[in-house]
């Protein structure tokens, strides 16, 4: 019975985490394109006598920070997906609980998807019968 209860929230956590991973990978590609286009535009304006050294440094730093945040989001959502997988198998209760809590925290992902999935997972994982199934 507990296996049936954890199946849906586990799958939902994995799907939501997978969607967020795809979004983050697309963002990294987008920032790479923006960096190439921005730097080429800055260099062409600099060669035309427009200067532009400070703007180039700012662009590179901005893109680097955004890529670091995207990498952190990939790790964050990867953990949530792994927690959903462990929840489905009724293994590692603390990890599944931590992943469910992380899904509720509004950072590194689409809150409209993560929060309901995390709340649903928390409700199910705190059920007495489910807790006992994790222990056995």
| CB distance 100 to 118 below 8 Å | yes
User: Tokens for 120?
Assistant: 């649903």
Residue 113, burial from CB neighbour count under 10 angstroms (0-12, 13-18, 19+): middle
pLDDT bin (cut points 50, 70, 90) of residue 50 is low
Give the integer Cα–Cα distance in Å for 99 and 79: 6
Q: Looking up tokens 């994995």, which residue turns up?
A: 14
pLDDT digits (tens, 9 = 90+) for 99-128: 999 999 988 777 788 899 999 999 999 999
pLDDT bin (cut points 50, 70, 90) of residue 83 is very high
For 110, phi and psi rounded to 5 degrees? -80, 110
Q: Domain segments of the chain: what residues?
A: 2-135
């Amino acid at each position: 019975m507990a296996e049936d209860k954890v199946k849906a929230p586990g799958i939902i956590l994995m799907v939501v985490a997978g969607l967020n991973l795809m979004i983050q990978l697309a963002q990294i590609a987008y920032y790479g394109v923006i960096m190439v286009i921005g730097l080429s535009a800055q260099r062409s304006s600099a060669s035309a006598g427009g200067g532009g050294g400070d703007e180039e440094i700012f662009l590179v730093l901005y893109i680097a920070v955004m890529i670091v945040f995207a990498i952190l989001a990939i790790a964050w959502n990867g953990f949530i997906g792994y927690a959903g997988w462990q929840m489905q198998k009724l293994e590692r209760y603390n990890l599944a609980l931590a992943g469910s809590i992380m899904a509720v925290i509004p950072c590194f992902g689409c809150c409209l998807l993560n929060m309901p999935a995390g709340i649903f997972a928390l409700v199910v994982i705190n059920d007495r019968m489910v807790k006992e199934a994790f222990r056995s």
